[in-house]
Chains A and B, each alone.
Chain A
Amino acid sequence: MRWNREKGKDRAPGRSQRPYQTVAGRTWIFRGAHRGRVTRKNIIWHELIGLKAKIIRASHPELVGIEGYVLDETRNTLTIVGDRVWTVPKDVVEVEFETAAGEKIRVDGKSLVGRPEMRLKKRWRK
């Protein structure tokens, strides 16, 4: 799945933080950008990028209360942008997403672990 390996643009750890900084504080860019019909049932397979998110519970007290739009996603982290950019590990938090329709969905971050394109392959309705 890696196309430009030689250019080193891998999403491996240690990737530069630079692409995110120019978007910090400009959350209006993402308003209404999400085109999916996300529901409680299908959020595990759906796109998280572009959704509004709020951290409700976390093992690390500093993370609680972070609010903003999901900007990027890796296997184990979510990057959330509000007035600044946070990178939050998925497996220790509980997130409340707000869909375009205004529905609020609470998800345990553990069920969201996996690369964005791999989440689509997760088991369907166990």
Chain B
Amino acid sequence: MGRKWILRGKEQREKKRIARERVETLFTMAERVFPYSRELANRYVEIALAVQQKAKIRLPKKWKRRYCKKCHSFLVPGVNARVRLRSKPYPHVVIKCLECGHIMRYPYLREKKARRAKTQDQGGVEA
């Protein structure tokens, strides 16, 4: 019985690895195909998200902000997405999907803090 459980764990890990590779492949393909066929790029995003949900894996950071959370279209900044930095209430990135108008906000406080610490370190070395 123990053996069975070990096998099942192995199977799960293997499947998750495959799922991660599939998501990576699909998003790469979406990026490649986007200039020629947006519909196809959106189709790849759709499959990638379906695979991600089925396998219960995290979406890689690299691709997390590259699709619209509402209409699931692949986003390319400057073509069908607008990316702006805002620091007023708290530092954040605003991404607007120009296909459906959905607005997504992501904080970048952590990056900013890391950067501040870094510059301070450098200042300390210089002084």
Interface residues, chain A, CB within 8 Å of chain B? Answer: 1, 3-4, 9, 11, 18-20, 22-23, 26, 29-30, 33-37, 42, 45-47, 49-50, 71-73, 116-118, 120-121, 124-125
Given A35-B21, A49-B26, A71-B40: A116 touches B15 (CB 8 Å cut-off): no
> In the complex, A98→B42 CA distance in Å?
25
Contact A36 B21 (CB under 8 A): yes
> In the complex, A72→B47 CA distance in Å?
10
Contact B32 A19 (CB under 8 A): no
Which residues of chain B have C-beta atoms less than 8 A from A18's C-beta? Answer: 39
12 example contacts (A-B, Cβ-Cβ < 8 A) are as follows A4-B72, A23-B40, A29-B32, A29-B36, A35-B25, A42-B14, A42-B18, A46-B21, A47-B21, A117-B47, A120-B15, A124-B14
Residue among B15, B25, B26, B47 with max Cβ neighbours from chain A (10 Å): B25
Contact A20 B54 (CB under 8 A): no
> In the complex, A73→B25 CA distance in Å?
14
Contact A46 B18 (CB under 8 A): yes
Q: How large is the interface on B (under 10, 10 to 19, 20 to 34, 35 or more residues)?
A: 20 to 34
> In the complex, A121→B24 CA distance in Å?
19
> In the complex, A70→B25 CA distance in Å?
13
Q: Which of A1, A3, A49 contacts B25 (CB 8 A)?
A: A49
Given A26-B36, A29-B36, A33-B28: A117 touches B18 (CB 8 Å cut-off): no
> In the complex, A117→B39 CA distance in Å?
19
